[in-house]
Amino acid sequence: MTKTILRALAGETLPTPPIWMMRQAGRYLPEYRATRAQAGDFLSLCYNPELAAEVTLQPIRRYGFDAAILFADILLLPQALGADLWFVTGEGPRLSTITTDAEFDKLGKGEMIHDTLNPVYETVKILSKELPAETTLIGFAGAPWTVATYMIAGKGTPDQGPAHALKAENRALFEKIIERLTEGTIDYLSKQVEAGAEVVKIFDSWAGSLKGEDFDKYALEPARIITQEMKARFPGLPVIAFPRQAGDKYIGFHKATGADCVAVDDSVTPEWVAEHVQPAGCVQGNLKNTHMVTGGQGLIDEIRHVVKALSGGPHIFNLGHGITPDADPENVKLMIDTIRNG
């Protein structure tokens, strides 16, 4: 029997939506924290195939999700292109910045990225052997715009201001960065598929800060190029796109990009998604992640609300954004039981 996630991605409406969760391998799980401590630091965990596979498998063992998503980070690609990357405890990632043509010219391209990223492909190979037969393996990458915001600012920013400023001041350089990331993302995802990923997801976490024509040029168009090239290389490969906080721009995103599924955040209601997005294909989402902290009847009621609203078409149940470190593991079990047992 075809895996449930693949059936939903192919457009089938299932009586019970398949379930996985963004950041399901994460700090809310005590076994993850133990393995991360064993690795020494976050990047060491990402680049250790055995340990990265182990943390990917942990939520599958504990909960029986319908999909596992490769444990990695969206900033491994800029590191592979030649940017310096490190993590500051309590503050998050830091990168050497790309704000001038001279800095851009130091970046690599093409096959060279695989020297750095080979451990990630080894993780995928381990997972493709060790995952249960019914579990779908999802590979992923950050979308070019979102990754560019970190490369330009050197860190995460609340408004992606440095990237917007470079776009306004040196559009030619900005577009070269987007183009280089688009090419690199295709090569990176291709190697993940060759290693065993069955689905790929493109995370555009900061898509919502692009407005109007800029959204079309720098969120939608790179997603279209990546999706079409991946499908040309791997016919039948399902692609999930997540242009977070796209609002009305979610409408038509399936058709414009060729994505099989559009993941939606919790800034839109499931009823709105059912009316405006789901008719075009599978949707993924969109429980508010704070419910995984608060739990209780509120969690149960909201799960039932999302499932009912999206029951008329293909749907993969997920959160509107990643699960947070303060979430209660018991609430994850409650979520799965509520969906599967009614």
State pLDDT tens for residues 63-86.
999 999 999 999 999 999 999 999
Q: What is the mean pLDDT of the chain?
A: 97
Cβ(129)–Cβ(137) below 8 Å: no
- Contact residues for 177 (Cβ-Cβ < 8 A; gap 6+): 98, 104, 144, 148, 151, 152
Q: Is 27 a catalytic residue?
A: yes
pLDDT over 90 percentage in the chain? 96
The label of the residue with tokens 């919790």 reads 266
**Residue 58 scores a pLDDT above 80:** yes
Could you give all domains of the chain from N- to C-terminal order, each with its CATH number?
24-279 (3.20.20.210)
CA-to-CA dists, residue 337 to 65, 115, 120, 341, angstroms = 11, 42, 32, 6
Cβ(178)–Cβ(132) below 8 Å: no
Q: Which of the following is catalytic: 7, 27, 33, 62? A: 27
- Average pLDDT estimate for 197-224: 98
Confidence (pLDDT) at 41: 93
Confidence (pLDDT) at 64: 98
Q: Is 23 a catalytic residue?
A: yes
Q: Which of the following is catalytic: 73, 260, 265, 266? A: 73
**Residue 110 scores a pLDDT above 80:** no
- Average pLDDT estimate for 268-286: 98
Confidence (pLDDT) at 297: 98
Q: What is the pLDDT of residues 156-171, one digit of tens each?
A: 999 999 999 999 999 9
Q: How is the beta sheet containing 136-142 ordered, strand by strand? A: 67-69, 136-142, 199-204, 239-243, 261-263, 282-287, 315-319
Closest CA to 145 of 222, 239, 253, 225: 222
**Residue 117 scores a pLDDT above 70:** yes
* pLDDT level of residue 190 (50, 70, 90 thresholds): very high
Q: What is the pLDDT of residues 87-100, one digit of tens each?
A: 988 889 999 999 99
CA separation for the pair 194, 132 (Å, rounded)? 19
- Average pLDDT estimate for 2-10: 97
User: Within 10 A of 126 (CB to CB), how many other CB atoms are there?
Assistant: 18
Confidence (pLDDT) at 90: 84
Strands 67-69 and 85-88: unpaired
* pLDDT level of residue 111 (50, 70, 90 thresholds): confident
- Average pLDDT estimate for 185-209: 98
Q: Is 73 a catalytic residue?
A: yes
Q: Is 94 a catalytic residue?
A: no
Q: Which of the following is catalytic: 36, 180, 224, 244? A: 36
**Residue 32 scores a pLDDT above 90:** yes
**Residue 221 scores a pLDDT above 70:** yes
Bridge-partner residues for 118, per DSSP? Answer: none
Q: Which residue type, as a one-letter code, is found at position 21?
A: M
Bridge-partner residues for 138, per DSSP? Answer: 69, 199
**Residue 1 scores a pLDDT above 80:** no
- Average pLDDT estimate for 107-117: 91
The three-class DSSP label of residue 64 is: coil
Report the range of poorest mean pLDDT among 33-47, 107-121, 247-261: 107-121
Q: Which of the following is catalytic: 32, 47, 150, 250? A: 150
| Burial class, 133, CB count within 10 angstroms (exposed 0-12 / middle 13-18 / buried 19+) | exposed
